[in-house]
Structure 1
Amino acid sequence: MTGMSPLQGSQADIILWSKYYYVALTSLWVYDCILCVPDSVAFLVDSRCGLGTMFYLACSHLPSAFMLLNMLLTFLPRGSYTLCRFIYITNICVGFLSMFSAECIFLLRTIAIWYRERKFMVFKIINTIAYLIPIIVCFQEFILSMGECSIPGGIGYVDSKARSQVIIVYCLLVAGESEILVCVLYRTFESHGSWKIENRLMRGLMHHNLLYFSCSFGFSLAVILATVFLPFPVVHMIAETQVIVLSLLVTRMHRDFWRSDRVSCGNDGVDLSLTTFMAATPDIVPEDTTGSRPCADG
C-alpha cells in the first residue's frame, strides 16, 4: 500500500480539523440566533424601517447562508470541480455582502453624527466607492487565479498572485475602517472638547466604533499573517470566523444601542438607534452644555 505524501497528509488533517471547527462556529451562530430571538423581534417590530434596518437584516441573516455554503464545502462527500467553484464563489460573495452591511451601519452612524452635512455625505459616498472598486477587482482576480477546488475541502492551494490579492483586500478593509473611526473620534472631540464625553449617544457610538475596529483589525491582521505563512485553508477559516464574529458583534451592538435609548426615554421617544437615515442628531449639541438630553428627542 502506497502511503500518503506529507502534503496529502497535511491537507487531510486540515480538512478533518476544519470539520470540527466549522461545526463549532455554526453552533455558536445558531445558539446566538436562538438566544436573541426576543430582542430581534422587538427591535424589528418597534424600530422604524430604513437603510439601517436593511443593513441590520443583511448582517443578521446573510451569515446563515454563509455558514450553510461553507458546511456544504466541508461535509459533502464528493462533488465536481464546477460545483465546488460555484459554492466557493457564492460563499465569498455572501461573506462580502455581510461585511459590507456591517461597515454600512457604521457609515450611516458616522454620517448622522456629522449632522448629515451634504459635503461630508458626498465625500463618504465617493470615498466608499473608491474602496469598493479595488476590493471588487481583487476579488475577481482572486477567483480567476485560485487553484484546484475539491469537495470536501474547497480551495487547498492558491498561488502568490492570489495571496497578494487577499492581502490587498484586507489592507483596504483596515484603511476604510480606520477612516470611519477617525471621523467619529474627530467629530466627538470637536463637539465636546475633552475626553469626558457626557452625551450618551456620542459616547455609545464612539465605544462601539472602537470595539468593532479593534476586533476587525485583529482578525484582518491574522488573515494577512496567515496568508503569508500558513496554508490557505487556515486563511479561509480565519476569514470565516471574522465574518461570523463581526456579524454577531454588530447586530448585538445595534440592538443594545436601540434598547438603551428606548429604556431611558420610553416608548414614545424618537428612535435614535440610527436604524434609519433620519436620526435627530442636531439635538446632540445642547447636551454639550447641559449634560442631559430630553427624552422627546430620543
Structure 2
Amino acid sequence: MKGLYIVTRYLSFIFLATDLYMYFVPNENLSKCRALDNIQTGIGMLLVVCSDYFFILRTYVLWNKNKILLAAMLFTFVSVIVACFGVAFSTIVPAAYVTSTIPGITGCYRSSDSYQPFIPFLLLSVFQLGLMILMLIRAIQSSRTNQSRLYVVLVNHKIFYYVCGFLFSVTNIITPMLLQNSYQTILNSVQFIMLAILATHMHLHLWQVNRHPHGSTSALVHIPMSDISFENPTV
C-alpha cells in the first residue's frame, strides 16, 4: 500500500506536466499530438486505476474483508477499465487534432466530433455509484447495530471522498453538452488529478488515525483498519 500510495501521489505530477505541455505548448505536428495523447491517456487511466483501488480497498474493509465482495468489485472494475481503454484508444488514431478555440492557446486538442469523451466517465460514474451504494448499505447496518447516528457513521466511513469522485465523473458526462471540446478536455484532466488527491488524502488520514487513535503523539497503538469505525468520535 505504501508503494501504491507513492505511485498515485507522484504520478499525478507527471500527468499534470504532460497535460500542460500537450495543451499549452504550440504544436502543429499531428504525429506528435497523437503520441502525446497516447501518453496522457495512458497515465490518466493508470491514475484512475490506482485511485479507485483505494476506494475498493476501503469498501472491502468496511464490509469486514468479504472476499466475495472484493472479487466482485475487482471483476467489475477491471471490466470498466478495459472498456474505458477500448473507447479511449480506439479513437486516437483516426482523431483529428486542431488548435484550441480558446484565445491564446495553440496546443493539441481533438476535434469535437472525433470521439465520445463522456463514455469512459459514464462507466466510471456507474462503478463509483456502486461503491457509494455499498458504503451506504454498510453505514446503515452499522448505525442500526450500534445505535449510532447515521450521519456520524457516514462521516467516519469517508462518504465525502466517495461523493466527490462520483460528482467529478457526472460533471464530465454533462460538460460535453454545454462546453466546447477544448474546455471539456481540461476538465477531464482535473478529474484524474482530483481522484488521486482524494484517494491519497483519504488513505493518509486513515494512517494517521491508525497511528494516533486518540490524538496522542507519544503513544503509537496499532489498530486494524477494520476497527476504525463509528465507535470512536475522533475518527
The question of a shared fold, defined as TM-score above 0.5 by the shorter chain, is answered with yes
- The verdict on how the C-alpha distance between 1:127 and 1:204 changes in structure 2, with shifts beyond 3 A counting, is same
2:136 and 2:56 map into 1 onto residues whose CA distance is 13
1:247 and 1:159 map into 2 onto residues whose CA distance is 29
Instruction: Give the gaps of 5 or more residues in structure 1.
Output: 1-49, 273-278
1:213 and 1:102 map into 2 onto residues whose CA distance is 11
1:186 counterpart (137, 141, 152): 137
1:133 and 1:185 map into 2 onto residues whose CA distance is 27
Tell me which protein shows more helix as a share of its residues: 1
2:162 and 2:150 map into 1 onto residues whose CA distance is 20
Deviation readout 1:80-134 (Å, 9 max, x if unpaired) = 2211211122111111111221111010111112222232222222222222222
- The verdict on how the C-alpha distance between 1:145 and 1:78 changes in structure 2, with shifts beyond 3 A counting, is closer
Other-structure match for 1:259 = 208
Other-structure match for 2:60 = 111
The answer as to 2:128 corresponding to 1:177 is yes
Other-structure match for 2:222 = 270
The answer as to 2:137 corresponding to 1:168 is no
Other-structure match for 2:35 = 86
What's the TM-score once normalised by structure 1's chain length?
0.65
The residue identity in structure 2 corresponding to 1:113 is: L
- The verdict on how the C-alpha distance between 1:159 and 1:89 changes in structure 2, with shifts beyond 3 A counting, is same
Q: Is the 8 A contact 2:28 2:108 kept in 1?
A: no
- Of all paired residues, the percent bearing the same amino acid is 19
Provide the secondary structure at the position in 2 that maps to 1:264. Answer: coil
Higher gyration radius (CA): 1
Shift of 1:154: 1.1
2:173 and 2:222 map into 1 onto residues whose CA distance is 42
Q: Is the 8 A contact 2:59 2:134 kept in 1?
A: yes
1:196 counterpart (131, 145, 149): 149
Q: Is the 8 A contact 2:22 2:107 kept in 1?
A: yes
2:199 and 2:70 map into 1 onto residues whose CA distance is 22
The answer as to 2:107 corresponding to 1:153 is yes
Q: Is the 8 A contact 2:84 2:123 kept in 1?
A: yes
The answer as to 2:170 corresponding to 1:230 is no
Instruction: Give the gaps of 5 or more residues in structure 2.
Output: 100-104
The residue identity in structure 2 corresponding to 1:190 is: Q
What's the TM-score once normalised by structure 2's chain length?
0.81
1:120 and 1:214 map into 2 onto residues whose CA distance is 21
The residue identity in structure 2 corresponding to 1:99 is: V
| Matched residues, number | 224
Other-structure match for 2:69 = 120
Query: What does residue range 134-145 of structure 1 map to in structure 2 within 5 Å?
Result: 134-145=83-94
Shift of 1:174: 0.8
- The verdict on how the C-alpha distance between 1:77 and 1:127 changes in structure 2, with shifts beyond 3 A counting, is closer
Other-structure match for 1:47 = none
